[in-house]
A and B are shown apart, each in its own frame.
Chain A
Amino acid sequence: MSQAGYVLAYGMVTALATVLGVLPFAFVKQVSPRAVAASNAIASGLMLGACFGLVAEGAELGTWQTGIGGLLGVVFILITQRVLAHRDAGFGQVRGAGGRRMILIVVVMTVHSIAEGIAIGASFAGGMTLATVITVAIAVHNVPEGLAITAVLRPQGVSLRSCAWWSFFSSLPQPLLAVPAFFFVDAFAPALPYGIGFAAGAMVFMVLVELLPEAYEEGQRGTVGLLVSLSLIAMVAFQRML
């Protein structure tokens, strides 16, 4: 296999890892309003925790670039939100606020994968060992991302199979961008801190403006607080371990 073939294969592995996040939901049968709040709380914690890793990584590549990327990410979500509300967009059968949240989480996670795809492709410049380490790290941390997507989609009645598909879809930019990033690493590398900042800004803002208010409305404050904190800490500790 040529090296470009490896890049594509590695990107595919990380994308498929996202689907594993659906598995825990295979064991949950009923979805009550309280479970929706719990799901939203867990997704919020995981996404906020993921942002910690992104910012730490972005700061190593360039603090200001990451900061500018972050602001752009916030603006991106503000605009997407307005557009979706204006058109009364829905996700499958679900319209209104629920449908908007579903579209937003898929969009946010997909956009976030772009930076990960570039990271995979660019890492090949540092040799096969580095590329393997980075790929495994990204694949492993994609699992909770699939979990976050499923946690938002599943309570709205989306089938497990569709949740798996959307999780995979959100990670497709990884193989698709890893290859060009590998060939044009000099052109892509400077964009990486902006991309990382963008992903972090978009994720945090999406959590704060959509997921958390919904969770507090539907669930009990103490329970939501516990779930967000515990999943956030788990995600942060997990990233420090890798």
Chain B
Amino acid sequence: MDLVLVVLAAATGAALAAALGVAPLLARPSPPTAWLAWANALAAGMMIAAAFALAEPVRGPESGAFALGAVLGILLIHGSRAFSRTEGLSLNRLDEANPAYGYEVLLVGSLHSAAEGVAIGAAMANDATFGLFVAAALALHNVPEGTLLAAVFRSRGVSLPRAASLAVVANLGQVVLAVASFAVVAAVPGALPWALGFAAGALIYLVMVDLLPESYVGAGPTSIALAVILAMWAFSLLHGVLRG
């Protein structure tokens, strides 16, 4: 199979995983805030570990391009949040009645998935196995993220199947960006460390500006820290074992 098709399939799979996030909502239609906070924390841990994995193929002199790419990624996300006026948005307000809120949550969700798309594309351009691993990690990450999105939509009266599809739709941008960044990196020599840095920077920034502060609001620091570190730990262990 052509590698581009692998990228397409992997990114689509990762986006579809968001639909699984509705599972906890079957048990509790209106979940306690602590659940959402823990879901956020798990998603954060997996995202940090994925960003660390992206830095690993970078060697010696490429570090400069990696760092500059990362700064670009951080500033781009920072800028687009300021531009869309969603920088202070709380992602798990189930009681928010403002109609714009649902769209804003959808927008921020799309921003997250865009960064994930670049991560999958760049990782795949580095090495197909590594790319599949990053895609699998981000697919796992999309499950708790899907729970968050679906819970917000459910609280606004959206039906369960529709909430699940909206969670997937918010993640569709990652398919387009995965294929696009894979193509760019494959075509432009020397672009790889830039792309890896861009994705790593964007992922880290989203964790630090969205996922973590949101989690600390919903549950105590000890349980949040444990959830984040558990996700990081499991991911790093799996990464190490697979690499042999």
Residues of A whose CB lies within 8 Å of any CB of B are 48, 52, 55-56, 59, 63-64, 66-67, 70-71, 74, 78, 201, 204-205, 208-210, 212-213, 216, 221-222, 224-226, 228-230, 232-234, 236-238, 240-241
Of residues 213 to 244 in B, which have CB atoms within 8 Å of A's CB atoms? Answer: 213, 216, 221-222, 224-226, 228-229, 232-233, 236-237, 239-241, 243
- Establish whether residues A70 and B233, one from each chain, have CB atoms under 8 Å apart when the complex forms: yes
Is B88 among interface residues, defined by CB-CB distance under 8 A? yes
Across the interface, do A221 and B209 meet the contact criterion of CB distance under 8 Å? Answer: yes
In the complex, besides A52-B52, A222-B87, A236-B52, 11 extra interface pairs with C-beta distance below 8 angstroms are: A52-B55, A56-B56, A78-B222, A205-B229, A222-B78, A222-B88, A222-B209, A229-B74, A229-B208, A237-B63, A237-B66
A52 and B55 CA atoms in complex are apart in Å by: 9
**In the complex, what residue of chain B is closest to A208 when comparing beta carbons?**
B225
Taking CB atoms, residues of chain A closer than 8 Å to B243 are 59
Chain B interface SS verdict (over half) = helix
Task: Determine the interface band of chain B, counting residues with CB < 8 A from chain A.
Answer: 35 or more
Q: Name, among A70, A71, A237, the residue most crowded by chain B CB atoms within 10 Å (CB to CB).
A: A237
Residues of chain B from 166 to 218 with CB closer than 8 A to chain A in the complex? 197, 200-201, 204-205, 208-210, 212-213, 216
- Interchain CB contact under 8 A, A221 and B67: no
| CA gap between A74 and B78 in the complex, in Å | 32
Knowing A208-B228, A216-B213 are in contact, say whether A237-B241 is a contact too (CB < 8 A). Answer: no
Residue contacts A-B, CB under 8 angstroms, 7 given: A59-B243, A208-B228, A224-B208, A225-B208, A226-B205, A240-B59, A241-B64
Asked if residues A208 and B52 are in contact (CB atoms below 8 Å), the reply is no
Given that A208-B224, A237-B64, A241-B63 are contacting pairs, would A201 and B229 also be in contact in the complex, using a CB cutoff of 8 Å? yes
B residues in contact with A228, CB < 8 Å: 204, 208
Is the CB of B71 closer than 8 A to any CB of chain A?
yes
